[in-house]
Amino acid sequence: MNEYEQTTRELIRFIEKSPSSYHVIENFASLLKEHGFEALSENDGWELFPGHDYFVTRGQSSLIAFRVPEQAFENFQITAAHSDSPTFRIKENPEISVQSRYVQLNVEKYGGMLCAPWFDRPLSVAGRAMVRCGNVLESRLVNFDRDLCMIPSLAIHMNREANSGTDYKIQRDLLPLIGAEGSEGSFLSMIAEQLKVPENDILSYDLSLYNRVPGTIWGIRNEFFSCGKLDDLMCAWSAVTALMDGVNDRSICVAAIFDNEEVGSRTMQGADSTFLSDTLERISICLGKNHQEHLMAIASSFMISADNAHAVHPHFPEKSDPTNRPGMNHGPVIKFNAAQKYTSTAASAALFREICAAAGVPCQTFVNHSDMPGGSTLGNLANAHVSLHTVDIGMAQLAMHSPYETAGVKDTLYLVQALVTFYRTHVDCRDDAFTIG
């Protein structure tokens, strides 16, 4: 097993242990603690010390980790990614009895997913439940961790137009089958059984479907891998992994993982919240900077907004830009957009290219086909609260927003290496010039 494959297998193992954004953050917190990071709470006062490492969570589904240098810091060097992926959320009162034959779960769409790949594959349910414990309402993680439900296709004999394109209706076509007749009333009791609490102590939940098909490495030379949630756990895992290996004696190195990017980020734990600005300001206050010194540190800081990018598709090469055509296994992709849906500028892209060169990592570019508007990501939303020089990047992948996505085996290690170099290299950003090292 080469180093590229080994790193990718570590990523796959993390994703398979992280079936919801709540599990993502719990697993990151455990990993950080194992590497000596101390947990902070927004509800408590902070006391920070030079040479120490910390993390704080918000809403159980977002996390900001940071490393304090031994000497007075000059700026922040940040990588941001997101913990959520498109899925189906389980509604309240979810059980639907059908024709006295079946029990379905009532779901709604979360994010802009590809619907067709959700059919005919084993699914399960994970997230969190709120439980009454005396006068305390306590959050508990839930993961059934078994093949629990499935969304069955309609046979070709009953829909002769199935291969001509289908206008899917979530309420009609995509409700998962979870049981046969006689299993009504089982869903809440299953949650109670897993959490070992009475049913009437479960007050509410945030639960979603997830794909149970294991991740795999494949191709003639094992050059590709497929897994759920590559958008954006490939970037989030790489950011946290790099932070644990990156140290800078002049900068606060930060990995920020936000929830709810797939639905616009406008939540208390999303990138379009005060989480990042609050955290950076508290760091400055605790380390003795006044308000003006904090703003000076922000002005010279840099952020990498990391969210995966589209590779040229083998069936539809015409969907890509004629001259900017990212490929898998060719390194990080800098993303540009004239409408400013991405934050990359000539200045921030030039800096990131220099970081990749120093890391010995190839780098490529993505721009939408001019007649096909693309998506957006979290960089510009975070910038509305903390204005930083920022570059938007990602790793080239296929089948974005499918429950089973594909990327290049080399690219996981490429991204980790680029981010480690970023954290280890001091960057001073000015309006007219960036200084590296």
Q: What is the pLDDT of residues 233-265, one digit of tens each?
A: 999 999 999 999 988 999 999 999 999 888 888
CATH of the domain at 266: 3.40.630.10
Residue 282 pLDDT: 97
Query: How many other C-beta atoms lie within 10 A of the C-beta of residue 147?
Result: 12
Residue 21 pLDDT: 97
Residue 1 pLDDT: 66
Q: How far is CA 382 from the centre of its chain?
A: 15
In a shared domain, residues 372 and 245: yes
In a shared domain, residues 233 and 319: yes
Please indicate, yes or no, if residue 221 is contained in any of the structural domains.
no
Please indicate, yes or no, if residue 352 is contained in any of the structural domains.
yes
Please indicate, yes or no, if residue 222 is contained in any of the structural domains.
no
Three-class secondary structure assignment of 5-73: HHHHHHHHHHHHCCCCHHHHHHHHHHHHHHCCCEEECCCCCCCCCCCCEEEEEECCCEEEEEECCCCCC
Residue 385 pLDDT: 86
State the total domains in the chain: 2
In a shared domain, residues 70 and 94: no
Secondary structure (3-state) at 108: strand
The parts of the chain modelled with pLDDT lower than 70 are: 1
Q: What's the predicted TM-score (pTM) here?
A: 0.95
CATH of the domain at 121: 2.30.250.10
In a shared domain, residues 139 and 58: no
Distance linking the first and last C-alpha atoms of the chain: 34
- Residue 197: give the domain boundaries: 87-211
Residue 339 pLDDT: 82
In a shared domain, residues 192 and 236: no
Q: Which of 183, 211, 239 is the last residue of a domain?
A: 211
In a shared domain, residues 320 and 381: yes
Please indicate, yes or no, if residue 94 is contained in any of the structural domains.
yes
> Are β-strands 38-40 and 53-58 bridged in parallel, bridged antiparallel, or unpaired?
parallel
Q: Which of 177, 211, 245 is the last residue of a domain?
A: 211
Residue 166 pLDDT: 81
- The radius of gyration of the chain from alpha carbons, rounded to an integer in Å, stands at 22
Please indicate, yes or no, if residue 20 is contained in any of the structural domains.
yes
Q: How far is CA 303 from the centre of its chain?
A: 16
